[in-house]
A = this chain, B = another copy of it.
Amino acid sequence: MLRELREQVLEANLEVVRRGLVLYTFGNVSGISREDNLVVIKPSGVPYERMTADDLVVTDLDGNRVWGELRPSSDLSTHLHLYRSFREIGGVVHTHSEFATAWAQARRPIPPMGTTHADYFYGPVPVTRELTPDEIDRDYVHATGAAIVECFGNRDPMEAPAALVADHGPFCWGRSPDDAVHNAVVLETIARMAMYTLSLQPAKVGVSQALLDRHYFRKHGQAATYGQQEQ
């Protein structure tokens, strides 16, 4: 069942390890088949070295397991809430990558400090509000997803394909599992450079709107000019 998607999700999970974004099993990637309304996700707590495409778990959008023998990632409900709320996304990644997590722990959004950021994120990477004790006690994993969606409001989630969950770490997304991992790798890099920038210039607030527009739209949308796609 969904063999190709399972292979993609496995590969995306291994890529976050190769890129140094996860330690031990602290991270998970999922992908969705919008046609089937089914999600493929990493199992909980299984070492990456021996994970195969047959260890992945398939669930419906309510979290019922429809294929696989292992328990899904403990973050499943957050992934599902993002898939239900953000209709254009095809993959979700959660990591504890160190610099993005530091911003999340500091409860600060990452401002667009330069063009590397502006090429991927049209404005700050948002940070969620803290959850209430009640939310944490009742349905923590779902509430995490709801807090991410809440901090976007009317903002297009494809224009800043990541959020920092306060005191926790980043969730990233993209058109596919592979694209979501790419965004997670870039997020970690801009988080690191933004921290270094603040150490050199504590008052730095972000780039101009003109520069943000110029860089974001050269890589995204109708008028994009980067790469070979229009050749």
Contact = CB atoms under 8 A, between A and B. Distances in A.
A227 interface: yes
B231 A167 contact: no
B196 A99 contact: yes
A102 B210 contact: no
Given A44-B228, A228-B45, A193 B115 contact: no
B106 A231 contact: no
22 contacts: A23-B189, A24-B182, A46-B228, A69-B231, A70-B228, A71-B230, A71-B231, A96-B116, A105-B194, A105-B197, A113-B167, A114-B167, A114-B168, A115-B169, A116-B169, A132-B210, A136-B214, A167-B208, A195-B196, A195-B199, A198-B199, A198-B200
A149 interface: no
A201 interface: yes
A133 B210 contact: yes
A25 to B, nearest CB: 8
Contact of A228 (B71, B103, B198): B71
